Amino acid sequence: MKLIAISRLRQDANRYPGVKKQVENWYKVVKNAKWNNLEEVKKIYKTAEAVGNFTVFNLKGNNYRLIVGIDYESQVIYYKYFLTHSEYDKNNWKNDPYF
């Protein structure tokens, strides 16, 4: 898979100390993945879920949410948001027109 906006993901994640390793590990897995659907994603990330048109990954013991759009046909992941659990629960990210 190709990840669009990895630099923006890294920049957003840098706001939170101690999560860099988890983001980099997620990226290593993603760039080598060839997923065709959410079920294949869930073989590696059991807690990944579809919410609207996004896929949400829980990182670092469910403390952070990584929200992306996945185009399985093109094998592209579009980074959207990196949030703490409490930021995610405010649902402001659901105002995104792609949601």
pLDDT score, position 10: 95
For range 38-51, the mean pLDDT:
97
Task: Give residues with Cβ within 8 angstroms of 89, minimum separation 6.
Answer: none
State phi, psi for 2 to the nearest 5 degrees.
-105, 130
| pTM as predicted | 0.95
Helix 20-32 × helix 6-13 angle, to 10°: 160
Query: Measured between alpha carbons, how far is 50 from 10 in angstroms, rounded to an integer?
Result: 22
Q: If you ran DSSP here, which 8-state letter would residue 56 be given?
A: E
What percentage of the chain exceeds 70 in pLDDT? Answer: 100
For range 5-31, the mean pLDDT:
95
Helix (H) or strand (E) run with residue 32 in it: helix 20-32
